Structure 1
Amino acid sequence: MSTRNRISTSSASSKIEHPELALNESYDEAIIPLLTTIDKIRNRIADIDTTIDLPAIVVIGEQSSGKSSVLEALSGISLPRGGQHMTTKCPLELRMRRASTWHARLECSGRIIRDNIPTAHDIGQHINTEQNRLTNNRDQISKQVLLVNVQASWLPNLTLIDLPGIIQVTSRQQDSGSVDIIQELIQDYLDRPSTIILAIIQACNDIETSAAIKYAKMFDPDGERTIGVLTKLDLVDRGAEQKLLEVFENKRIPLKHGYLLVKCRTQEDIDNNIELSEALRKEEQFFSKSSKFHSVPLERRGCPSLARFLTRELVRNIKQALPRLISDLRGKISNVEQQFRHLGIDDYTQLLFTDEARSRYLTDKLFTAMQLFRTEIHGVEEGAQVNNPLYSKRNELNREFYSEMHRTKFENSKLIQLIKSAMIATQGPEPADYILFRVTKTVCLNYIKAIRLPMEQYLSNILERTNNVISNVINKVFHMRPNLLNQMHSIQETIEKQLKADCHRELELILEMEESFVYADNPLYKETLRRTKRIHKLNSPDAPPTAATTTTVVQSARIPYTAVNASTNSRTTSLKRTNGAMSEDNDDDDLDQEFSPPVKISRPNGSSTNRLSSLWSNLWTTSQQEISESFTSDKNDIRPTLEYVSTSRPTILPATTNTVNDNLIDEEIIEYKIRILAMQDIICQRIILTFPQRVEYQLVRKQFSQLDLQSSILSSTSLDKLDSIMANHPETERRQNELITKRKIYEETIKELHNLEQHQSNANTA
């Protein structure tokens, strides 16, 4: 029976007589709790946090540096061998524990790949199979960690992490990205302060060119954490031994922990299936018989000494790291608590309450959320200034609405065209120059029809803005609880739908009222008409007549006898009805009396005009340009000739005055235009003053009040519906559960580390 088989079959015995049991000298009862605790922590946090710096020994070395042979000598197990191919394709964590019975298990990412592996020789085969699966049977590198747990009576209590061999240039069979992945793995593991770097170096190569030393110096410049292991001593050329001893004596590249010398199985030994026990015996013979290396201290040569040395350094490193680990884990807990607060959880322990306590907690959270909602919806927080984004936008929309309402007014050619059409449509038995209310009303009804569009647009804009503000507040306050969020949106949509319908009814009512009462003989109309005429009068560029005051006969359709006075001494002239005649009055306040209808004024040279042209020249000029042909008479000849006539009957003007009857239409249009502009202004101002106020009341204040009421009602949700309505978003629940798991693990780990500190303190005291 071979030595390997004897080891595996006799593992039930606590006493095994084989040379490899020299490794048992590294066993120390006191270190088992330390190593076991660190391994347990490493297992526990592997899936939740890879940033915790746990003490470890990481093995690095170039391909074919003898790295696998060193690990085999330390563990007694077989590792993959691939000839020209990569043998280590992913990080390999090798946990060795001394136990009375044999047990081996292979794991990956918390999943057991193979349990109860029968012999130490079979482990390498299972590792190779899993590596090929991870790399798709290619010569490439994977970052997945394979975990090998081995228990046997000859093993040291030691944990090593073996990284893939360093390569500088890839071969044709190797993946081109392998170099970069290996460098990333080295950086990830060696950059941690608690990592002990075990650099495997071929003794036959110049140490200054060693890739393992290069990377060790990169992350440990002072050599504080690096242990050098010189391998393949039998390949050192004659005469080069002294140079190698200089390296060993820390004279060339000094390391704090120095160097150790080992001679593991050669490739010939492996090909000849030389057992590990035989290899250990041959190693000791090599050192004892070597003229150059026999003087090397026993604790610095051979694999058994290396195992003891590594165990001591790992234990020392763990003891030193305990306070730092506890501090780091407390920092992790603080970070978790901060993430809980970000999720709206002030104290995560409240999530672990009993049903009754949880109901009280959720009720309080619901009430608090509703209070916050009511505060946000009004844009006011205690101690803060009013800062509601709705009102600034509302003012902007109001200004746009005012401008659009004024732009909708009929003016100039559009207004004249509507007046003409209305005059034709409403023509009746009245005299041709009779001012008809029907014409004014017809045009104003067209204006009322035109203002529907800006009113509807204003309503739509306010509705959209209000909904945006309310929706943003709802999302801000309730985004962590989707059921409550949806319910609040549903409440808001129901309220908004009802109030929107109310606003449209208000709009229809306002327009209906305007259409029904286009005109009423009231002071508002008179004042507006007076102001309109006065503006045009003051803006008139025409100078008053310079001739002496004269009187002529003027024929009116509504007033039999009307006198028009013109004075060279006054720039202001008004028409005032007085018992069948018009009297002169220069007081502007008299303009609040209704002006007389248009009049015809006889002119010399066959031309005629209206005295209103001197009062409202802008309107007159516009009307003349758009409706009538231009007068060809010289302006100096346009001089009214007025004469006093008896009030008993109108005097027929002589034929020589040659009155132009076509100007009657121009004069009527001017009068209509003045009156319609005044009516449009009244309608516009009335709607501007009332409609936005009604809309704001319905869509803003009334909606806010109803949301207040509904949120208060929702605050009193029954306990049987509380869990459902306060449920978090699925992603939030998942994140919340992750944080709860992390915090529990961190707390449990801190407790274990405290116990470990106490155990070590007691052991030191004893």
Structure 2
Amino acid sequence: VLTKPDLMDKGTEHNILNIIRNKVIPLSKGYILVKCRGQKQIDENISLEMATQMEAEFFKNHEVFSCLMNEDKATVKCLATKLSQCLVDHIKKSLPLLSEKIKRQIWDLKSELKGCESGPPLDPQEAKNFLITTLTGFNDMIKDLSLGELINGELTSRDLNCEDNLFVQLRAEFKSWNDNLDQTKESFQQSIRIFKDHSQKCRGRELLGFSNYKVIEKLLQECLKNLKDPAIESLSVTKDIIHKQFTKVSEQCFKSYPYLLTVTKNKIDNIHLKQQAKAEQRILEQFEMENLIFTQDAIYLKVLNEIGKPEETFSEDNLPVFDNKSMYSEMLQAYYQIVVQRMADQVPMLILYLMLRETARLLRTEMLSLMDGAQNAFQMMFCSYYLHNIDYPVEIGATLEFLQRCMFKINPDQGTKVSRKEKGRQYTMNPRVLSLISKIANFEWTE
């Protein structure tokens, strides 16, 4: 836009004319020459209409620039026409893209609205059945989770993917426990070497050449004592893994029902604490039983033959052959290997049974007990649903309605006309929500 044509020096008009005709510095949209109001005219409060007429007269009477009037390259009026046309062209170009974007947003919002639960029914009998169905669905998912059932590589509890597979995580923790047991074999061999070096200091009333079994018992019991803390730590880690998965299932089932979600989480916490205490007691009892130092003779001889030298064979018939101190190392290693294998299986089995299987059973029973007070439970469930979800569907519904209106204005053939009575704020919402809100708010609703 070039201005102040009345202030140009005589003789320079033709150069300006060449510029306006895009011959000097070409521009894609070209040039337009306008004559604005001067400061004097502004001070004299000359109207825009009068200024427009004065501008038109100036260009018509100008000996050089008058030709620009016929070319639509002079006056503010031509500038306004040019800019309006540019805007219209830009809108025409942008409308298909805007329409496509709105279509995607409408599709996403409709999908999101489909994900919003319809909520508890208002009829008392239907409401009771709804509560039963909801609790049964949760119990089924907990049962599936405790059994680790997989369908097409995914847990039956839908949103829990393979990375969240409970048994994958548990096996990783139990492998860590087994690796820890294997690592203690080296320290146990060190204990055996110390025992052999100080066997004379450990000698009791027995005559020279006789064995003191109590000393051997003490050595094994001391080594077993060192395994207690890692076993309790494994129990604690496993408890956290199971608790996290149970909580995730409850959040998935009751995300729209804060009351049920709170009740369920409290039940999970209480049951897990009790089961953890019971499992810890059972593990400690297992270690107390291990202090008895017992295994079947057949098992002991089998392991002893596996770790012994190839040329040596151990059996009940040749007991005098290996009943001497030179064989203590192999004998102790054989028994400790039996203990490690026994603990590697027994501790995880105790944890799985008490912390997973029993916890799942107790939780399912506790959830069914909610049916004893079904009316109160449902009332709290109903109220918490609408208090929790009242804003979210409103926001989505209002946004969807707005986009549908935009779509209809852009392209009436593809858009959906949305009609309603205007009276205050209005939203498109779930009918059950509308029936609840209409009782407490001064709104008129349309479908």
Q: Normalised by the shorter chain, which TM-score bucket?
A: 0.5 to 0.7
Query: 1:346 aligns to what?
Result: 114
Residue 287 of structure 1 and its aligned partner are, at CA, apart by 2.0
Query: Which ranges of structure 2 fall in alignment gaps of 5 or more residues?
Result: 156-164, 416-447
Structure 1 residue 471: deviation in Å?
A: 0.9
Q: TM-score, normalised by structure 2?
A: 0.66
> Which residue does the alignment assign to 1:279?
51
Q: 1:678 to 1:485 in 2, by over 3 A?
A: same
Give the strand-richer structure, 1 or 2: 1
Structure 2 matches for 1:639-678, cutoff 5 A? none
Match of 2:316 among 592, 617, 625: 592
Q: In the alignment, what sits opposite 1:414?
A: 194
**Residues 532 and 383 from structure 1, CA distance in 2 versus in 1: closer, same or farther, beyond 3 angstroms?**
closer
Task: Tell me if structure 1 keeps the 8 A contact 2:250–2:264.
Answer: no
1:330 paired to 2:330: no
Name the residue aligned to 2:404.
747
Distance 1:368 1:274, change over 3 A: farther
* 3-state SS, counterpart of residue 150 of structure 2: coil
Deviations 1:587-619 (A, max 9, x none): x78x514745xxxxxxxxxxxxxxx6xx789x5
User: Quick check: 2:6–2:35 contact (8 Å CA) kept in 1?
Assistant: yes
Q: 1:330 is paired with a residue of what secondary structure?
A: helix
Higher relative contact order (CA 8 A, sep 6+): 2
Instruction: Go from structure 1 to structure 2 and tell me whether the alpha carbon gap of 1:269 and 1:736 turns closer, same or farther (over 3 Å shift).
Output: same
Aligned residue runs from structure 1 range 64-463, under 5 A: 201-202=1-2, 231-249=3-21, 251=23, 259-270=31-42, 274-297=46-69, 301-307=74-80, 310=83, 325-337=98-110, 340=112, 346-347=114-115, 375=144, 378-384=147-153, 388-404=167-183, 406-407=185-186, 409=188, 411-416=191-196, 420=200, 422-424=202-204, 427=205, 432-433=207-208, 435=210, 439-463=212-236
Residue type at the aligned position of 1:346 = K
CA contact (8 A) 2:170 2:238 kept: no
- Give the Å deviation of 1:268: 4.2
* 8 Å CA contact retained: 2:275, 2:355: yes
Q: What's 1:697 paired with?
A: 353
Percent same amino acid at aligned positions? 17
**Structure 1 spans left out of the alignment, 5+ residues:** 1-200, 203-230, 541-587, 597-611, 621-669, 759-766
Counterpart position of 2:244: 471
* Distance apart, 1:449 and its partner CA: 4.1
Shift of 1:491: 3.4
Paired AA for residue 743 in structure 1 = L
Aligned residues: 395
CA distance in 1, matches of 2:129, 2:61: 78
Question: Alpha-carbon deviation of 1:529?
Answer: 6.2
Greater helix fraction, Structure 1 or Structure 2: 2
Q: Identify the residue that residue 497 of structure 1 maps to in structure 2.
A: 273
Between structure 1 and structure 2, the one with the greater Rg is: 1
Specify whether residues 511 and 319 from structure 1 end up closer, same or farther in structure 2 by C-alpha distance, changes over 3 A only: closer
CA distance, structure 1, for counterparts of residue 64 and residue 79 of structure 2: 20
Aligned equivalent of 1:105 = none
In the superposition, relative to structure 1, how do residues 315 and 365 fare at CA in structure 2: closer, same or farther (>3 Å)?
farther
* Range that drifts further, 258-267 or 474-483: 474-483
Q: Provide the aligned C-alpha RMSD in A.
A: 5.0
Residue pairs, 1:29-44, within 5 angstroms: none
Determine the C-alpha separation between the residues in 2 that align with 1:539 and 1:532.
13
Q: Deviations over 1:147-180 (max 9, x none)?
A: xxxxxxxxxxxxxxxxxxxxxxxxxxxxxxxxxx
393-402 or 473-482, larger mean C-alpha shift: 473-482
| Contact 2:52 2:76 survives alignment (8 Å) | yes
C-alpha contact (below 8 Å) 1:261/1:301 kept by paired residues: yes
Shift in alpha-carbon separation, 1:538–1:503, aligned structure 2, 3 A? same
Cα distance change of structure 1 residues 485 and 466 upon mapping to structure 2, 3 Å threshold: same
**Residues 490/276 of structure 1: CA separation in 2 closer, same or farther (3 Å cut):** same
Distance 1:284 1:486, change over 3 A: same
Alpha-carbon shift at residue 528 of structure 1 (Å): 3.1
Query: Contact 1:525–1:678 (CA<8 Å) still a contact in 2?
Result: no
Distance 2:410 2:188 in 1: 84
Asked if 1 retains the 8 angstrom alpha-carbon contact of 2:59 and 2:69, the reply is no
| Partner amino acid, structure 2, of 1:698 | L
Q: CA deviation at 1:243?
A: 3.0
Question: 2:231, 2:248 → 1: CA distance?
Answer: 26
Partner of 2:439: none
Contact 1:248–1:258 (8 Å) recurs in 2: yes
Instruction: Decide whether the 8 Å contact of 2:142 with 2:246 is kept in 1.
Output: yes
Alignment partners' CA distance in 2, 1:538 and 1:440: 27
